């Protein structure tokens, strides 16, 4: 039968010969997600990132960066580094971020730990992408690393600065409340490694403090920054990161709800979490989701959950937000039946597919592992039509849905003219340098703003002198 089928396929020439394979699906409300494997055999994936080159980039705790074609699954290891303990424990190669100006500055920012558990260093480095490999490492920042609690996620902000989470390396929180230490913090760094001039503490990378081991970062509506943080045995936290705020550890765990905690919180401007989990479930990587492909997940945080030391809580938690993004309205849990530690997620911005990295069944993770794709195959991405999408532009294209930066705004370009328009980029040749008609244009007996606007042609009128 196999031979006959093969011959039939050859005989039919250009006719399609297809085979049907059962695919695993998952129902999310009225949306059907089809599960597939993006890559298998990767050991302990830690960061999963959708790159500006439309590939999936993955760090492994064992010290590699892998670049994956999401359409074919073809992959290439583009960086290998020696890391602490070979990545067998918590430290190793951790967070990663891409330069926002990728077309002109194709740099990748990576955190990794080297040395030994008792004499280690955590590095934030940048690497240049040359089209096939990451090269030309530049170490931007370093701090003491430990055998546990090293953070570290990265997030590029709209102002082209970088947030980096760091853990207390297991010192019980002594460093977390020490403003002179870089441990137990969220740091804010310029992309060249310098300290931003507008950081809350002049000359310091410290952006927020009082953290135990934050290992998730993402940005949501209005630029809100969310972070997930491991608690000790209770009170894993989901926090809104704000500059110069104290997040309490080790004096406060979770919300301020004891006498001692209330006293400390009042005296130290402590920011309370917007959500907590007790006992700890080991919250990790996260991504804001607002894609139409899965409408049931819109305006939510996709939160990876490792499951705690016992591994009984592993899952993907969908944290639904209120409209402002300032509070959690509900948590819905998925994929717990996998019995796999969920380390991180990323989103395909075109298809809305979600990629989820698994880390084995127990702490601190074991490989080889897989990265799964969950995709709504019924969703058809809109065809991109490049053009000017701003209705007020002279070359506005009503059919365009992908602004190409070519919008033209006609007006006077001379800042010394009465009718100068700051946002104009095409000279109208109609600059006005003095009033050419009476000030009381509408002859109502008073000089008003309306008169001035008519003089400047704001109403499409011009009076003759």
Residue 121: which H helix or E strand, with range? strand 119-129
What rounded mean pLDDT belongs to the chain? 89
The verdict on residue 3 lying in a domain is no
Q: In the predicted model, is pLDDT for residue 15 greater than 70?
A: no
Two tokens, residue 148: 């546990």
Flag whether 32 is in a domain: yes
Question: Do the domain assignments include residue 249?
Answer: yes
User: In which band, very low, low, confident or very high, does the pLDDT at 379 lie, cut at 50, 70 and 90?
Assistant: very high
Rg of the chain on CA atoms, in Å:
27
Please check whether residue 361 lies inside any domain of the structure: yes
User: Under a CB-based contact definition with an 8 Å cutoff, are residues 122 and 145 in contact?
Assistant: yes
Residue 431 in any domain: the answer is no
| Residues 276 and 261 sit within 8 Å (Cβ to Cβ) | no
Q: 């039939």: which residue's tokens?
A: 8
Q: Across 366-428, where does the E strand assignment appear?
A: 369-375, 386-387, 402-403, 410-411, 426-427
The pair phi, psi for residue 452, each rounded to 5°, is: -60, -40
Query: Per mean pLDDT, which of 117-126, 283-292, 384-393 is the most reliable?
Result: 283-292
pLDDT band, very low/low/confident/very high, at 311 (cuts 50, 70, 90): low
The two structure tokens encoding residue 61 = 């705790």
Q: How confident is the model over 5-13, as a mean pLDDT?
A: 35
Q: What pTM, to 2 d.p., does this model score? A: 0.81
What confidence score (pLDDT) does residue 103 get?
94
CATH number assigned to the domain comprising residue 49: 2.120.10.30
pLDDT at 448: 65
With respect to residue 422, please indicate whether it lies within any of the assigned structural domains: no
Token pair of 236 as six digits: 């894993």
Q: Could you tell me which residues are beta bridge partners of residue 173?
A: none
Contact predicate 92/146, CB 8 Å: no
Residue 12 has pLDDT above 60, yes or no: no
Whether residue 434 is predicted with pLDDT greater than 70 in this model: the reply is no
Q: Which domain holds residue 235?
A: 25-375
Separation of CA 369 from chain center: 23
Please state which of the ranges 24-33, 39-48, 115-124, 224-233 shows the lowest mean pLDDT: 115-124
Tally of domains in the chain? 1
Instruction: Give the integer Cα–Cα distance in Å for 120 and 433.
Output: 67
Place of tokens 């905690």: 261
Q: What pLDDT was estimated at residue 308?
A: 79
Asked, for residue 213, whether it belongs to a domain, the answer is yes
* Sheet arrangement for strand 236-240: 214-219, 225-229, 236-240, 275-277
pLDDT of amino acid 458: 45
Note the pLDDT of residue 17. 36
Is 269 a residue whose pLDDT tops 90?
yes
Q: Taking 90 as the threshold, does the pLDDT of residue 231 lie above it?
A: yes
Q: What is the mean pLDDT of residues 408-415?
A: 85
**Tens digit of each residue's pLDDT (9 = 90 or more) over 186-213:** 999 999 999 999 999 999 999 999 999 9
423 in a structural domain = no
pLDDT of 453 > 60? The answer is: no
Q: Which residues contact 358 (CB under 8 A, 6 or more apart)?
A: 45, 338, 340, 341, 342, 343, 369, 370, 371, 372
Q: What is the pLDDT of residue 456?
A: 53
- Mean pLDDT, to the nearest integer, of 317-328? 96
Short-list 275, 232, 225, CA closest to 255: 275
φ/ψ region of 374 (left if φ > 0, alpha if ψ in -120 to 50, else beta) reads beta
């Amino acid at each position: 039968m196999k031979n006959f089928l093969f011959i039939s396929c050859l005989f039919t020439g250009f006719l399609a010969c297809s085979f049907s394979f059962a695919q695993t699906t998952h129902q999310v409300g009225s949306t059907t997600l089809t599960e597939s494997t993006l890559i298998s055999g990767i050991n302990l994936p830690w960061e999963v990132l959708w790159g500006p080159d439309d590939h999936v980039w993955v760090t492994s705790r064992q010290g590699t960066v892998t670049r994956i074609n999401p359409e074919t699954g073809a992959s290439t290891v583009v960086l290998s580094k020696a890391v602490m303990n070979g990545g067998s424990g918590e430290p190793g190669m951790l967070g990663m971020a891409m330069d926002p100006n990728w077309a002109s500055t194709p740099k990748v920012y990576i955190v990794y730990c080297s040395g030994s558990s008792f004499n280690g260093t955590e590095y934030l480095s940048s690497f240049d992408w040359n089209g096939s490999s990451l090269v030309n490492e530049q170490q931007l920042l370093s701090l003491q690393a430990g055998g546990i609690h090293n953070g570290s996620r990265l997030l590029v902000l709209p102002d082209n600065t970088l947030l980096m989470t760091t853990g207390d390396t297991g010192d019980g929180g002594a460093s977390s409340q020490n403003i002179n230490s870089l441990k137990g913090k969220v740091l804010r760094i310029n992309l060249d490694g310098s300290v931003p001039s507008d950081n809350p503490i002049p000359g310091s990378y410290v952006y927020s403090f009082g953290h135990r081991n934050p290992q998730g970062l993402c940005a949501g509506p209005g630029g809100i920054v969310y972070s997930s943080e491991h608690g000790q045995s209770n009170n894993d936290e989901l926090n809104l990161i704000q500059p110069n705020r104290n997040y309490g550890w080790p004096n406060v765990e979770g919300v301020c709800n004891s006498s001692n905690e209330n006293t400390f919180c009042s005296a130290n401007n402590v920011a309370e979490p917007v959500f907590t989990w007790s006992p700890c479930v080991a919250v990790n990587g996260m991504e804001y989701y607002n894609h139409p492909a899965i409408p049931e997940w819109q305006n939510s945080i996709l939160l990876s959950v490792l499951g705690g030391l016992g591994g009984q809580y592993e899952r993907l938690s969908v944290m639904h937000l209120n409209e402002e993004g300032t509070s959690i309205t509900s948590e819905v849990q998925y994929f717990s039946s996998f019995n796999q530690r969920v380390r991180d997620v990323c989103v395909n911005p075109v298809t809305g597919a979600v990629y989820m990295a698994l880390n084995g069944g127990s702490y601190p993770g074991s490989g080889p592992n897989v990265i799964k794709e969950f995709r709504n195959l019924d969703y058809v991405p809109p065809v991109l039509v490049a053009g000017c999408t701003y209705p007020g532009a002279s070359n506005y294209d009503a059919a365009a849905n992908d602004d190409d930066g070519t919008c033209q705004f006609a007006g006077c370009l001379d800042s010394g003219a009465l009718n100068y328009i700051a946002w104009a980029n095409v000279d109208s040749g109609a600059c006005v340098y003095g009033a050419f008609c009476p000030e009381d244009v509408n002859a109502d007996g008073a000089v008003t703003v309306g008169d001035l606007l008519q003089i400047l042609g704001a109403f499409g009128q011009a009076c003759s002198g």
